[in-house]
């Protein structure tokens, strides 16, 4: 069990306030206060499980008497029907925290599972799978951790930890060279990545001295040519835009170094997990 960040504890608190409000009126009316029960969480489909520590904290914030025991490790791939956790404690607390706990586990497990599917598609190539900043506000650290547990890697966490000059920056800066030079002046030795949507822009980014070039929404033919140019210049490449399970292997075979996929976090289907009282 790992210690959760304060921001995660706060997110859990906000989720419980949102769901419980002034109280779980159904449970208060139908479940005796002194009733103790045992329950289990079960995966209803195959997938990668993430969020057990978060579920434990959900129940801890509701009632410290509830004991949650993980039956699989964080990031484990399980088959349909696997019991992933067992619970013991006051029935009211377990029922009140059920939905919030499942929401965290289902969403994060869905991200990890989808990441695993993408990672499997590029197995045997040199390409490395990255996430993006396309995350639910407030959930970024959790979603990026789920990507890592699914076999992917994290791109920049926010606007503060890496330089990525995109098309709108270039419209204001006017030229790639000016934008790269400005980044060097402000941040010295930090690596500079530049977005390019055409071979002309790739050449411009190479001439400007970019450390990595993000090859955005390119067809395979143009992508192959761009990767070849960058290899000659010893510049890292990253493919992005319009990438899905159907085409990621073809993109990986171009020799690109990284592939960033926004769908890992913004389009992952929740993994089906339930909680049942024994």
- pLDDT over 70 for what percent of the chain? 99
Q: Do 109 and 90 reside in the same domain of the chain?
A: yes
Domain membership flag for residue 57:
yes
Query: Mean pLDDT across the stretch 215-221?
Result: 97
3-state secondary structure of 153: strand
pLDDT of residue 105: 98
Note if 166 is an active site residue: yes
Q: What is the mean pLDDT of residues 20-45?
A: 97
Q: How confident is the model at residue 4 (pLDDT cuts 50, 70, 90)?
A: confident
State whether 93 and 151 are in the same domain: no
Domain CATH for 19: 3.90.1170.20
Residue 1 has pLDDT above 80, yes or no: no
Q: How far is CA 13 from CA 41, 182, 221, in A?
A: 21, 42, 50
Pair 122, 129: CB distance under 8 Å: yes
Give residue 5's pLDDT. 85
Q: Find the radius of gyration of the CA atoms of the chain.
A: 23
13 is catalytic: no
**Cα angle 187-156-9, degrees, rounded to a multiple of 5:** 120
Whole-number pLDDT of residue 210: 97
Own/partner contacts of 212-220, CB < 8 Å, gap of 24 or more, are: 212/236, 212/237, 212/238, 212/257, 212/258, 213/237, 213/238, 214/164, 214/166, 214/238, 214/239, 214/240, 214/260, 215/239, 215/240, 215/256, 216/167, 216/240, 216/241, 217/241, 217/242, 220/250, 220/251, 220/254
Confidence of residue 3 (pLDDT cuts 50, 70, 90): confident
Query: How much is the mean pLDDT over the chain?
Result: 96
| Residue positions forming the annotated binding site for substrate | 99, 132-134, 156, 166, 195, 216, 240-242, 261-263
Pair (95, 201) in one structural domain: no
Residue 189 scores a pLDDT above 90: no
Does residue 195 have an active-site annotation?
yes
- 266-275 pLDDT tens trace: 999 999 999 9
Residue 50 domain flag:
yes
Looking at the structure, do residues 84 and 70 belong to the same domain, yes or no?
yes
Question: Is the per-residue pLDDT at 249 higher than 80?
Answer: yes
Binding positions are: 99, 132-134, 156, 166, 195, 216, 240-242, 261-263
Q: Which of 60, 71, 128, 134 is catalytic?
A: 134
What are the pLDDT digits (tens) for 137-177?
999 999 999 999 999 999 999 999 999 999 999 999 999 99
Residues 210 and 143 in one domain: yes
Which residues, including other chains, have CB under 8 Å from residue 132's CB and lie 6 or more apart? Answer: 155, 240, 260, 261, 262, 264, 265
Using CA atoms, how far apart are residues 205 and 194, in angstroms rounded to an integer? 7
Q: Is residue 1 part of a domain?
A: no
Structural domain including 233 reads 120-266
Q: For 85, phi and psi rounded to 5 degrees?
A: -160, 150
Same domain for 92 and 14: yes
Catalytic residue among 67, 73, 166, 269: 166
pLDDT at residue 234, as a whole number: 97
What is the arithmetic mean of pLDDT over 202-230?
Answer: 97
Looking at the structure, tell me whether residues 11 and 125 fall in a common domain: no
In the predicted model, is pLDDT for residue 10 greater than 70? yes
134 as an active site residue: the answer is yes
Q: Which helix (H) or strand (E) holds 106?
A: helix 91-121
23 and 133 in a single domain? The answer is: no
Place of tokens 């109280």: 23
Q: How many domains does the chain have?
A: 2
Say which CATH number the domain at 262 has.
3.20.20.70
pLDDT score of 136:
96
Based on the residue annotation, tell me whether 216 is a catalytic residue of this protein: yes
User: What is the Cα–Cα distance from 99 to 254, expressed in whole angstroms?
Assistant: 44
Catalytic residue among 99, 128, 148, 224: 99
- Decide if 18 is inside a domain: yes
128 and 113 part of one domain: no
Q: Using alpha carbons only, what angle is made at residue 99 by residues 96 and 100, rounded to the nearest 5 degrees?
A: 90
**What per-residue confidence (pLDDT) applies to 276?**
98
């Amino acid at each position: 069990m790992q210690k959760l960040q304060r921001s995660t504890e706060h997110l859990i608190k906000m989720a419980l306030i949102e769901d419980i409000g002034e109280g779980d009126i159904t449970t208060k009316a139908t479940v005796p206060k002194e009733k103790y029960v045992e329950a289990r969480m079960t995966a209803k489909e195959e997938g990668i499980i993430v969020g057990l520590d978060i579920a434990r904290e959900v129940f801890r914030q509701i009632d410290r008497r509830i004991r949650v025991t993980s039956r699989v490790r964080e990031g484990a791939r399980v088959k349909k029907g696997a019991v992933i956790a067992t619970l013991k404690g006051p029935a009211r607390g377990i029922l009140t925290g059920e939905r919030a706990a499942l929401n965290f586990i289902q969403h994060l497990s869905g991200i990890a599972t989808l990441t695993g599917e993408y990672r499997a598609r590029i197995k045997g190539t040199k390409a490395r799978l990255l996430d993006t900043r396309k995350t639910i506000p407030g959930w970024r650290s959790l979603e990026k951790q789920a990507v890592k547990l699914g076999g992917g890697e994290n791109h920049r966490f926010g606007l503060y930890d890496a330089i990525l000059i995109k098309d709108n920056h270039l419209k204001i800066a006017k030229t790639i060279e000016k934008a790269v030079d400005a980044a060097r002046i402000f941040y010295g030795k930090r690596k500079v990545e530049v977005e390019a949507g055409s071979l002309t822009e790739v050449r411009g980014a190479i001439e400007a001295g970019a450390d990595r070039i993000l090859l955005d929404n390119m067809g395979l033919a143009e992508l192959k040519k761009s990767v070849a140019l960058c290899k000659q210049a010893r510049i890292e490449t990253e493919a992005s835009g319009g990438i899905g399970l159907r085409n990621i292997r073809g993109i990986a075979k171009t020799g690109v170094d990284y592939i960033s996929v926004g769908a890992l976090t913004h389009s992952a289907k929740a993994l089906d997990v339930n909680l049942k009282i024994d």
